[in-house]
Structure 1
Amino acid sequence: MTTRLLAITMLLAACTRPTQHAARFASPALAARLDSLSAADWQDRQAIFAVFRQHGFKSTVADTANRWLLRQDAVRLATFQQLERHHGWPAVTQAGTEAAGTAFLLLQHAPDSVQLQYLPRVEALYEARRLPSADYATYLDRALINQGLPQQYGTQSARVVRPFGETIDSLLPTAGFDKLDERRRTMKLEPLQRQLRPGTMYFKTKP
């Protein structure tokens, strides 16, 4: 399974059912279209998670389902970008907190290059208080890692195989590790250093 496919599977548990808000804004048609994209994203991830539960993450069926999900995400992203070109970024994301959340949801499921392209706009959402700080921290960290730079908030980790075959979750390169928890606190993220093995970037093994 590729890194991109693995990233998709790790996002599934965090997906929550979208809310409908079309009737509350000046452009009901636009809000309804955003609602439908968000709902389809949620439904597809519920479907693929059911596949994983039945067949396992590493099965041939799971690989096929992952490729299907990538195609579905690509269609939704193209639709979102078409809406953005027609209505403009402010209209798409300032229709309310839920609409801004839909934009973020679709972008975090987009290819790495697209996520990087939209980073300034996602940052603007955060600064306008239309995106939770934890979501912005995750988006920024992912963009930094994809550029080969250390992350800021420690939201990105990977499963690695150590010598002698031990598989363990490890924090990806992180800047200013001694003050990591201070930065996480400003983004409303729980402390991380106590979850790691002393003197390492490896997460403690859960009992």
Structure 2
Amino acid sequence: MNISRLPALLTAAVAILALSACGGEDTPQGRQPGVVTLRTGAPGANPSPSAAGRPIIRPDASREEIEALVQAYHSCLNDNGFPQWKNAEGRFDKPPGEVAVAPVDPAAAERATKVCANEEPESWTAVEERNPEYRDLLEDQADCMNDKGMDVALRQDPEGGPWYIAPRDVGPGTAEEQARRSVELSNEEARAKVTRECEQKAFAERIKLYG
């Protein structure tokens, strides 16, 4: 794992937390609190498993569950010789820009990341990127988002990475329709709600694998 990715993990976790909050989903009945992830290695659990048995952040994971995964991973790094920054509440966090962070021993950091590799959480969408049907399902999601007033299209990482959904500059429909949509989807919460609804619709059958 590249050392420079560690702050990004916390940032990505915050983004996942924000999106999951918009879904407003409670923990389903029958699932025990604290059972956070689907681990690879469980027979038949998921045909697109997370590499090296890493914990998977399920589609229905709560903010608390995601935070617990992130904290456990950074605690592992910290305990194995790769110091992690803590905020005033004593939780591992991304250090603010004005905070001076002590230099990291690259060798110690590399050892710690290897030891803790199986503790690094991976989102279910990252797992799905390895599914051969991923592009088609993502296209279905993009179509749904456009039908609900957003203006997005599929893009692919220029280096041959996974496909993703990105906004387009000009939307379909008349000027009046575009103006109405821009008002309806002018706030982040509305866009996140549409994104999540369409993701759940397009990936409905795949999401069942993470229950």
TM-score (norm 1): 0.31
Choose 1 or 2 for highest CA Rg: 2
Relative contact order (alpha carbons < 8 A, sep ≥ 6): 1 or 2 greater?
A: 2
| Greater helix share, structure number | 1
